[in-house]
Amino acid sequence: MKIVGLAIVRTGSDLNEPVPLTVATELSSFGFFQRQSVKEMLMFLTKTFMKRTEPGQRQSVEHEGYVVHCYVRSDGLGGTVTTDGEYPARVAFVMLGQLLDEFAQKQGDSWKTVTTPESVSFPPADEYLQKYQNPAEADKITKIQKDLDETTQILHKTIDSVLERGVKLDNLVEKSNDLSAQSKLFYKSAKKTNSCCVVS
Amino acid sequence: MSSNRTHEFLALAQSLPAGPPPPTNANGKKGDSDAYQELRNFHTTAAGISRDIAGTSALLSELSNLVRQGFAQPQDQARMNQLVMHIKSQIEGLNGRLDQASNTMQKQRRKVGQQAGEEAANMMDGLKSTFAEAASDFKKVLQERTDNMKEETDFQKQVYDYNNADDDDPIPNMSSLYAPPVFGGANSNGFPALDLTSSLMSPADNTSSLPRPHGISSSYSGGDIRQRRPLEYNNSYGSQNSFGGSLYSTSQAPLTPLDIQRMEEERGLQQQLIPDQDYLQQRADAMSQVESNIVELGTIFNKLAVMVQEHREMVQRVDDNVQDANTNINMSMEVLTDTLMSLRTNRMLALRVFSVLVLFIIAFIIFFA
């Protein structure tokens, strides 16, 4: 599962089209000549879906095998993440939330007046894109879930080995039982056979 | 000398004070008479409670007779519902009073003498056990009843067309049963059943307070008794919901197409109110899955601990056996070394004895030769 593109967009009722402020893409899976057209399609999808998304709402729209997760905050700042079908929506939204928070923090209010597309440079966007390529690493819940699964597996193996240990201990008990019985017999027979010659 | 002294006895009895004589106690504390007064009150309340338990049992027997008749007539149904409500309210009241009585008994127990306290405690236990029996019988009767009604509705479903069953209303007076919260919970048929004794058997609570009877319910999967409203709430021993309060608390699981439609409308409304429903739902699901995983891990650890604990016993046995074997072998070694020692030394003796014998033989030969 991978993320193909990421865009921070400014929406508002005063604009007839949402303005993308920052865009980051990861198009290495496409052929060199396709990349430009793919990027244009991403931008087009972003703008279209952003226009349709209300402030304070999250949406996930599927298009040609790729899913676009859109989120618009209440103050008009929004973002889209384009991923393939397997990527969990929840992680995408968490990522968007964090990214938008950081963006708003860094940029202050300056983004509210921007009208030229892709004019704001925000390097953390690229970082986020790379980091979230593997949702298990970046999203805490996914990480915890993975750790838990591992731990459960390990525990199952442990229980199996403890059961084996139980069986072996059982064997040991039996054998030691036999040993003690045998040694007792040995003692008795030794005493008996040697008692007759001691006197004389 | 024996004469009829009955009239003397009667005169004496009348001359005695009306109430019981004031108690003479070894402590001689001032509050003793109050304690005995309270004890008397306690006994009267206990008597009242036992009388009510008897009354409830009588009603319960009537109800069970009605239920056992099988397919019941409408007027029997009405009577059964009435009985059920009556019994339920009585059980509630009895529960509260038993609790109160046991609390007061605990308080008084210290003040009153030991024997009276023990007697009171025994009586409380007796009352509680009879009450528990009555409650469990009630539960059984209810279950029988729900089974009967299920058979009835299945039968009628075959007879009537399913679409018309909504109009025909096979069980007319069930609609009046929204109030009785007795039907809370589902057994394997998918029908509600009240589990009154789930907590009565709880081993933890025996002296402090009477375990509250309350019901367990799980989600109700589609049914055709639409008027039933199974009530759902958490069965937590710690919370000790009172009988009446908790059963009125929540309601769930709509049953008719009308209800399903209403629920979908609500859901649509929810979607307007909370536009992030899916996302939040996903988060909630993820968290609950994590939680269940952790709980599972906890149980696995517990099992592990139990298993290792069992092994401890086995290891001890092995140790004992090996110890015994060691001791035995040591002792036998001692015996053998003794034999060896004695053999070594005895050889000299044997040699000498043998030489003496040989001398004797030679002497004999020389003597006879």
- The tally of domains found in chain A comes to 2
Q: Please check whether residues A17 and A78 belong to one and the same domain.
A: yes
Q: Please check whether residues A41 and A114 belong to one and the same domain.
A: yes
- What is the model's pLDDT at position B223? 39
- Please check whether residue A197 lies inside any domain of the structure: no
Q: Please check whether residues A116 and A182 belong to one and the same domain.
A: no
- What is the model's pLDDT at position A58? 87
Instruction: Give the 3-state secondary structure of residue A5.
Output: strand
With bands split at pLDDT 50, 70 and 90, how would you rate the model's confidence at A114? confident
- What is the model's pLDDT at position B141? 79
Q: How far apart are CA A186 and CA A149, in angstroms?
A: 55
Domain endpoint, select from A134, A163, A179:
A134
Tell me how far apart the terminal alpha carbons of chain A are, to the nearest angstrom. Answer: 93
- The answer to whether B135 and B193 are in contact (CB under 8 A) is no
Domain endpoint, select from A134, A166, A182:
A134
Q: Which of A1 and B355 is assigned the larger pLDDT?
A: B355
Q: Please check whether residues A127 and A148 belong to one and the same domain.
A: no
- Please check whether residue A200 lies inside any domain of the structure: no
Q: Cβ of A166 and B300 within 8 Å?
A: no
- What is the model's pLDDT at position B294? 93
Q: What is the pTM of this model?
A: 0.45
Q: Please check whether residues A122 and A150 belong to one and the same domain.
A: no
- What is the model's pLDDT at position B236? 36
Among the listed residues B137, B142, B149, B126, the one whose alpha carbon sits nearest the alpha carbon of residue B58: B137
Q: Cβ of A155 and B304 within 8 Å?
A: yes
Express each pLDDT in A70-95 by its tens digit.
988 888 888 899 998 888 888 888 88
Q: Please check whether residues A66 and A153 belong to one and the same domain.
A: no
CATH of the domain at A117: 3.30.450.50
Query: Which of chain B's residues have a Cβ under 8 Å away from the Cβ of A67?
Result: none
Output the six-digit token pair for B49.
Answer: 């409670």
**Nearest CB neighbour to A198, from listed B276, B296, B338:** B338
Q: Please check whether residues A112 and A29 belong to one and the same domain.
A: yes
Express each pLDDT in A13-69 by its tens digit.
777 888 888 888 888 888 888 888 888 888 888 888 888 888 888 888 888 888 899
Q: Please check whether residues A40 and A123 belong to one and the same domain.
A: yes
- What is the model's pLDDT at position B17? 67
Q: Please check whether residues A27 and A110 belong to one and the same domain.
A: yes
Q: How many CB pairs under 8 A join A and B?
A: 118
Output DSSP code: residue B22.
P
Q: Cβ of A183 and B293 within 8 Å?
A: no
Q: What is the pLDDT along chain B (369 residues), one digit of tens a residue?
A: 567 888 888 888 888 865 554 444 444 444 556 767 777 887 888 788 888 888 888 888 888 888 777 655 667 777 888 888 888 888 888 888 888 877 887 777 666 666 777 777 788 888 788 878 877 887 887 888 888 888 877 767 676 654 444 444 444 444 444 444 444 334 444 444 444 444 444 444 444 444 444 444 333 333 344 444 433 333 333 334 344 333 443 444 556 777 777 777 766 666 566 667 788 888 899 999 999 999 999 999 999 999 999 999 999 999 999 999 999 999 999 988 888 887 777 777 788 889 999 999 999 999 997
- What is the model's pLDDT at position B65? 84
Q: Which of B214 and A165 is assigned the larger pLDDT?
A: A165
Query: Which of chain B's residues have a Cβ under 8 Å away from the Cβ of A197?
Result: 339, 342-343, 346
- What is the model's pLDDT at position B274? 62
Tell me the residue range of the domain where A8 lies: 3-134
Instruction: Please report where in the chains the tokens 């008897």 appear, as a residue.
Output: B54
- What is the model's pLDDT at position B72? 56
Q: Please check whether residues A126 and A157 belong to one and the same domain.
A: no
- What is the model's pLDDT at position B18? 58
Q: Cβ of B332 and A165 within 8 Å?
A: no
Q: Please check whether residues A65 and A150 belong to one and the same domain.
A: no
Q: How far apart are CA B263 and CA B226, in angstroms?
A: 15
- What is the model's pLDDT at position B8? 87
- Please check whether residue A199 lies inside any domain of the structure: no
Q: Cβ of B328 and A184 within 8 Å?
A: yes
Flag whether pLDDT at A154 surpasses 90: yes
Q: At what angle do helices A89-107 and B277-368 cross, to 10 degrees?
A: 120
- Please check whether residue A161 lies inside any domain of the structure: yes
| CA torsion through residues A173, A179, A180, A182, sign | positive
- Please check whether residue A43 lies inside any domain of the structure: yes
Q: Please check whether residues A71 and A158 belong to one and the same domain.
A: no
- Please check whether residue A198 lies inside any domain of the structure: no
Instruction: Please report where in the chains the tokens 């889209």 appear, as a residue.
Output: A80
Flag whether pLDDT at A113 surpasses 60: yes
B352: distance to nearest CA of chain A, Å?
A: 13
> Which residues 6+ apart lie within 8 Å of B104 measured at CB?
B38, B42
Q: In what order do the strands lie in the sheet with A3-10?
A: A19-25, A3-10, A77-84, A66-72, A57-63
